[in-house]
Amino acid sequence: MKTLQTHASTILLAVMASTLVSGCVTSSSTVVPLNIKQQPATVIEVMPISAAQKRFVTSDWWRRGIIVGGVIDANTGIYTYKFDDKDYANLRKSVIDSLQKGNYFKEVNDVSNDVEAGTGTRLYINFSESGMGSTTLGGFTCTLKAYAWTEDATGALVAKKEVSVLEKSEITVGIAKNKAITKFVQEVSKLFVAN
């Protein structure tokens, strides 16, 4: 029995170590349940996201040389973390998939420019800030700040919202990012709450 418990503990520690070492976000989207009423006549056109010019990183100096999958600084040998282009792509896909899979609307279209967009309601997200920080216990934070708005096909403003998200995890950078993405999608969805 004691041997079985020892093996179980070893496996659990190995899994935890793997999570701590990788600290990454999955490439698949996060589908978030939303508090939106059915709008069966509405078509949503999700426009390209404008990523923030202001991006910041955090260092993981105490894990120097022992992490796999981090972004290492060639000069210092210290791993750093940021909300990068892959994270932006994951966030945008999370917005699209969450709006689509909830069957809240007639259609939710992933469009790449104004010409491709149809006559539906257009969703724009313009980030002002994104990045990773540190907690007092050596964990991670993820900050996302953006201005989100919707327009009709003529360009008239329908709704707007400033979104500011700060989420943290004492365990991995990946958890902080996923929590921030989930919260961000929930906040953006409030643009579509019918009055």
pLDDT digits (tens, 9 = 90+) for 109-155: 999 887 788 889 999 999 999 999 988 887 899 999 999 999 998 99
Number of Cβ within a 10 Å radius of residue 91: 28
* pTM over 0.95, yes/no: no
Residue 108: its H or E element: strand 105-110
Q: pLDDT at residue 69 above 60? A: no
Arithmetic mean of pLDDT over the chain:
82
Specify the DSSP class assigned to residue 19. Answer: H
Backbone angles phi, psi at 85, to 5 degrees: -60, -35
Q: pLDDT at residue 16 above 60? A: no
Structural domains of the chain, ranges and CATH numbers in brackets:
2-192 (3.40.50.10610)
Residue 77: partners with Cβ closer than 8 Å, 6 or more residues away: 64, 65
| Cα Rg of the chain, angstroms | 20
pLDDT of residue 67: 55
pLDDT digits (tens, 9 = 90+) for 17-29: 333 333 444 457 8
Alpha-carbon distance of 132 to 142, in angstroms, equals: 5
